[in-house]
Amino acid sequence: MKHRFLSILLVIVVLLGFLPLGAGAAPDLGLPGLAGIYRDYFMIGGCFGADKIAGERGQLFFHHYNAMTAENAMKPASLYNAGRELDFSAIDGLLAGVAGYGNTLHGHTLVWHEQTPAWMTQNKDGSPLAREEAQRNMAAHIGAVAGHFAGQVYSWDVLNEAMEDLIVDRSDWRVALRKTAWYNAFANGGPGEGGDGHIDFAFRQARAADPGAILYYNDYGLDKPRKARAVATMAAELNGAWLAEGNARPLIEGIGMQGHYSLSTSAADVEKSIQLFAELGVRVSISELDINAKPGGPDEMLKQAVKYAELFVVFMRHSDVVERVSFWGLDDGTSWLNLPQFGGPGAEPLLFDAGLNAKQAYYAAADPEGFLQAHGAAPPRQTWLGCLLRPFRFLYENDDLYGGDIFKYSRAAAVWLAKGLASSNKYARCGYSLLYYLLWPGARAVHWARGILGK
C-alpha cells in the first residue's frame, strides 16, 4: 500500500517535471523590451523553434526580440526528406505563425559540416564525393534554399564554422581551415583545385541566388585573436578578388561572432576582434550569444550578469559596425546547453530562468553601464594555471606580430617548464623554470632588437 502511494507520488512528480512551465508562471511583459532599448544601436535577436515561440515563451520572445534565427529548421538536415528532396513545409509553417511580428529573419545556415545530409558530400562508404559532384550539390542546395527565402531573409550565414580552433600556422588561412566533408570533397578534384575553394564557391552561389541578402561568415571562438585573424585574412582575400572583378559590394559582407561565451571570456578580446573585422569594412553580428555559467548559486549568476554588462558596453561602443546581437535562446529552460551532448540539463546561460523570470543578466543587458556602476566590473579571473600559461598564451596569440618565428620560443619554453616540473633536484627545478620565465621576455627583446636594427 505504502509502495503504491509512493509510486503514484513519484509519477506525479515526474509528470510535473514535464509541464512546460511552473503553474501560474507568467513572463513579466512590463519590463522594458531589449529590442526597444537598443533600437538606435542594433537589432536584438533570438533563435527560435516551435518550443520557443509558443504560448508565454512566445510572448516574451517577441517582447524582447526584433530579429530571429531558426535554431535548427533552416539547416540543410532539416530541409531534406529521405528522398533527398527539399521540403519547406515545417519552416514555412513556423514562419507563417510569426509573420505578424515583423521580426527580421536571419538565415542559418546554408553550408555547414554538421546537420547536413551525408549524401551532399560523401559516397555511401564515407569517401568524399568528386569535386564536381559536391559542387553540383552545393550549387543546387544554395540556389533552391536561398532562392526560396529570397525577399524574406535579410541576411544569411552562408558558411558556418569552417575554421579550425587550434591554429598553429596563421600565416596562411588555408592551412587553418577545418578539413570538413565539404573541404575534402572540393579537394577531390583536378590539379590546383583545393578544398578551400568551397568557401568562395558558396558565397558566389549565395550572392547569385539572393542578391538582396547580406552574406555572413559565421563562427565561434572569434574572440581568440588567432582564429579571428585567420577569418579576417580569408575575408580580405576573397573580398579583394571579388571587388577586383568590378563588383560594388563585398562578397563576404559580415562576420558573425557566435558568442558562445563563458565567465572567462574577455570582453576586451571580443572588442579587439570587432575592431579587426570593422577594419575590413564588413559588418559584425553577435549571432548566438549565451554565457555558459554552471549553476553555482547567486554569485555565479551575478558574475554572469557582470559579463553580459561588459559585453553590451562593448557592443554599444561599436554599434556603427555591430548590426545585430542575437541570443541563442530565450530562457535557461530551453537552451541548447541542456542537451546531454552539450553539457546536460541544468544550464543557466541566458537572461531568463526556466520559469521565464528575468535574471540579473537581463538587468545587466538592459542597462549595462548602470549595472557595472552598481556591481563593479568583474576582476579578471586568475588561476595559478592561468598565470603559468600566460606567457604561452601571449606567444601563441601574437607570434605573427613577431614575424611568425617567435612561436618556436614558446615551444622551447614549454620544454623547459616541463623539465623543471619533472625534475627531482630542486636546483634543476629552479633553473629550468627560470629559463621558462626568461624565454618569453627574451624573445620579445630579440624582436625589438631586430626591429631597431631593421632586420
18/22 Cα distance (integer angstroms):
10
Given the residues 210, 288, 331, 397, the one annotated as active site? 288
Contact set for ligand XIL, span 239-258 (CB under 6 A): 258
Alpha-carbon span 360 to 44, nearest angstrom = 18
* 19-48 binders of ligand XIL (CB under 6 A): none
Is the distance from CB of 149 to CB of 94 less than 8 angstroms? Answer: no
Q: How far is the CB of 160 from ligand XIL (least distance, A)?
A: 5
Read off the C-alpha cell for 271: 572588442
Do residues 73 and 49 lie in contact, with contact meaning Cβ atoms separated by under 8 Å?
Answer: yes
Q: Does 71 bind ligand XIL (CB under 6 A)?
A: yes
Is it true that the peptide bond before 109 is cis, omega within 30 degrees of 0? yes
DSSP-assigned states of every residue in 278-344 = HHTT-EEEEEEEEE------HHHHHHHHHHHHHHHHHHHHTTTTEEEEEES-SBGGG-GGGSGGGT-
Angstrom distances, CA of residue 122 to CA of 112, 118, 132, 140:
14, 6, 12, 16
Task: Tell me, yes or no, if 300 is annotated catalytic.
Answer: no
Determine the Cα–Cα distance for residues 319 and 38; give it in Å rounded to an integer: 10
Nearer to ligand XIL, 72 or 292 (CB): 72
- Closest CB 184 distance from ligand XIL, rounded Å: 20
For residue 261, list its beta bridge partners: 291
| Contacting residue, 196, 210, 288, 399, with ligand XIL by CB under 6 A | 288
Considering the complex, state which of residue 66 and residue 160 has its C-beta at the smaller distance from ligand XIL: 160
- Tell me if residue 161 is catalytic: yes
**Which lies closer to ligand XIL via its Cβ, residue 347 or residue 439?**
347
Determine if 336 is a binding residue for ligand XIL (CB under 6 A).
Answer: yes
Give the number of other CB atoms < 10 A from CB of residue 277: 25
Residue 160 or 360: the one with the smaller Cβ distance to ligand XIL is: 160
Among residues 252, 233, 232, the alpha carbon closest in space to that of 242 is found at 252
- How far apart CA 235 and CA 238 sit, in angstroms, is 5
Q: Which residue is catalytic, options 71, 161, 310, 397?
A: 161
DSSP H or E segment with residue 61: helix 55-64
Verify binding: residue 292, ligand XIL, rule CB under 6 A. no
We find the least distance from the C-beta atom of residue 421 to ligand XIL, in angstroms, to be: 36
Q: Which three cell numbers stand for residue 207?
A: 550572392
Burial classification of residue 385, based on how many CB atoms lie within 10 Å of its CB (0-12 exposed, 13-18 middle, 19 or more buried): exposed
How many amino acids of this chain bind ligand XIL (CB under 6 A)? 7
Contact characters 381-420, ligand XIL, x per CB under 6 A: ----------------------------------------
Choosing from 71, 210, 219, 399, the catalytic residue is 219
Q: Would you say 113 or 375 has its CB closer to ligand XIL? A: 113
180 makes contact with ligand XIL (CB under 6 A) = no
Q: Supply the DSSP symbol for 45.
A: E
Closest CB to ligand XIL: residue number:
336
Catalytic residue list contains 369: no
Residues 96-125 that bind ligand XIL (CB under 6 A): none
Q: From residue 351, how far is each of 15, 53, 185, 305, 333 by CA, in Å?
A: 26, 16, 41, 8, 11
| Closest CB 309 distance from ligand XIL, rounded Å | 24
CB 331 within 8 A of CB 60: yes
Q: Is 348 in the site for ligand XIL (CB under 6 A)?
A: no
Under the criterion CB under 6 A, does residue 72 sit at the interface with ligand XIL?
yes
69 lies in the binding site for ligand XIL (CB under 6 A): no
Under rule CB under 6 A, residue 160 binds ligand XIL? yes
Does the footprint of ligand XIL cover residue 265 (CB under 6 A)?
A: no
CB of residue 336 to ligand XIL, shortest distance in Å = 3
Minimum CB separation of residue 145 from ligand XIL in Å reads 15
Residues carrying an active site annotation: 161, 219, 288
Which residues here bind ligand XIL, judged by CB under 6 A?
71-72, 160, 258, 288, 336, 339
